[in-house]
Amino acid sequence: MTKRVAIVADRIGWEERQLIQSAPALGLEVDWVNDESLCLGHPDTPSVDQYDALMIRSRSYTRGGLIATLAEASGVPVLNSAGAIHACENKLVLRAVLREAGVPVPDFRLAVSRKDFEKALDDLGLPVVMKPVYGGMGKRVTLIRDADLAHSVYDYIEDLGHAFEQACLIEPYLGGGSIRCLVIGEEIVAAAEFESAGADWRSNAALGNQSRALAHDPEVQKVVDGVVDRLGPGIYGVDLFKTPSGHLVNEVNHAPAWRGVASTTGVDIPAAVVAHVQEMLA
Ligand SMILES: Nc1ncnc2c1ncn2[C@@H]1O[C@H](COP(=O)(O)OP(=O)(O)O)[C@@H](O)[C@H]1O
Ligand SMILES: [Mg+2]
């Protein structure tokens, strides 16, 4: 019988639409379920019991991990796993988890106060990058080259409403472009090198940056294998910085966009996702 998978998300983006449209021909039924209408908590999870698995694609930094945790606890197969989502949604937790597992990550400091911030600048030296612990699409990721600017930037952090928004990572600036590896299951199915083009120093695809396909690289493979060993098989966007001392993992997106790598590499990503889901449910 055809298996049914629910994409749990706040909205259908380009990637979700591609999956929903191409899955039936590949023998899988994929529906969108609004992440605001699940009301999980009932031990039998009636709101999702017609599905064989949930694919969590919430953009929210709080919903995905909570929904995955409750569904998993009720015995519903979830991808990515709750553990992986919890590790990825918080940049600081991810750094700690990967570093402990022996995966190379940039040096970093947690700043929850101006005292921490000053100490971090002293420890790391300028230039540094400051970024929110919860964030995405390059928002608020700030390059601080100038000591005169640093304290004024921190004034804005201090004025943010919630401690949740104030917690920041401070890390060395590692210029030179970044690499995005799309992992499905345990494999890198597509990889691309991004360069920040023109006005913005950040290389996010969401900021309109250019990329080119990256050939197989054993060192990249080794680092990404370390990530997958720690987080378990899943669908991940693993972002690396290339540095003179090797590749470092900047972040892992647990509901990655893939429009950029798909158009750069021509890989049929929905087919790979469907194959992974079918293998998981076999
Ligand atoms: N330490 C760093 N050194 C150099 N560039 C960085 C650094 N941290 C972030 N960037 C740039 O900023 C972009 C956004 O930062 P990132 O950590 O990926 O946060 P987000 O979750 O918002 O994408 C990265 O893709 C990269 O181009
Ligand atoms: Mg990023």
Q: What is the Å distance from ligand 1's center to 83 Cα?
A: 23
Ligand 1, residues 61, 108, 129, 245: which to mutate, most atoms within 8 A of Cβ? 129
Task: Return the DSSP state at 161.
Answer: S
Delimit the domains of the chain by residue range.
Answer: 3-88, 109-172, 175-267
Segments in 33-111 forming alpha helices (H): 63-73, 82-89, 91-100
Please state, in angstroms and rounded to a whole number, the distance separating the CA atoms of residues 227 and 204: 21
Per DSSP, 255 falls in state: S
How many Å apart are CA 76 and CA 248, to the nearest integer? 34
The minimum-distance atom of ligand 1 relative to the CA of 253 is 21
**Average pLDDT score over the chain:** 94
pLDDT digits (tens, 9 = 90+) for 224-266: 999 999 999 999 999 999 999 999 999 999 999 999 899 999 9
**Is 199 a residue whose pLDDT tops 90?**
no
Question: Could you say which ligand is closest to the alpha carbon of residue 91?
Answer: 1
**pLDDT, tens digit (0-9, with 9 covering 90-100), for 125-136:** 999 999 999 988
**Residue 162: burial class (beta carbons within 10 Å; 0-12, 13-18, 19+):** exposed
Q: How many degrees, rounded to 5, is the angle at CA 51 between CA 46 and CA 56? A: 95
The residue whose CA is least distant from atom 21 of ligand 1 is 136
The CATH code of the domain at 175-267 is 3.30.470.20
For residue 250, give the ligand nearest its CA: 1
Ligand 1 close to Cβ of residue 138 (< 6 A): yes
89-127 pLDDT tens trace: 999 999 999 999 999 999 999 999 999 999 999 999 999
Cα–Cα dist 113/111, whole Å:
6
What's the CATH fold of domain 3-88?
Rossmann fold (3.40.50)
Query: Cα angle at 206 between 102 and 55, to 5 degrees?
Result: 65
Q: Is 206's pLDDT higher than 80?
A: no
* 49, 40 contact by CB (below 8 A): no
Residue 213 Cβ < 6 Å to ligand 1: no
Q: Label the pairing between strands 234-243 and 246-253.
A: antiparallel
Question: Is the pLDDT at 201 greater than 90, yes or no?
Answer: no
Q: Over 70: is that where the pLDDT of 177 sits?
A: yes
Is the domain covering 109-172 a CATH 3.30.1490.20 domain?
yes
Quote the CA–CA distance of 203 and 148 in Å, as a whole number.
25
Checking if the pLDDT of 2 tops 80, the result is yes
Is 77's C-beta closer than 6 angstroms to any atom of ligand 1?
no
d(CA 50, CA 4): 8
Does the C-beta of 178 come closer than 6 Å to ligand 1? yes
**pTM score of the predicted model:** 0.95
pLDDT digits (tens, 9 = 90+) for 68-77: 999 999 999 9
pLDDT for position 197: 65
In the prediction, which pLDDT does 171 show? Answer: 98
Check whether 274 has a pLDDT greater than 70: yes
Residues in the chain: 282
- Which position has the higher pLDDT, 118 or 198? 118
- pLDDT number for residue 82: 97
pLDDT at 198 over 90: no
Out of 131, 142, 179, 248, mutate this one to test ligand 1's pocket (max ligand atoms within 8 Å of CB): namely 131
> Distance of CA 188 to CAs 16, 79, 102, 233, Å?
20, 17, 19, 11
Q: How far is the CA of 90 from the centre of ligand 2 (A)?
A: 12
For residue 138, CA distances in Å to 66, 129, 202, 209, 252 come to: 24, 11, 7, 12, 14
- Among the listed ranges 132-146, 195-209, 239-253, which one has the minimum average pLDDT value? 195-209
Percent of the chain whose pLDDT exceeds 70: 98
Average pLDDT over residues 148-164: 90
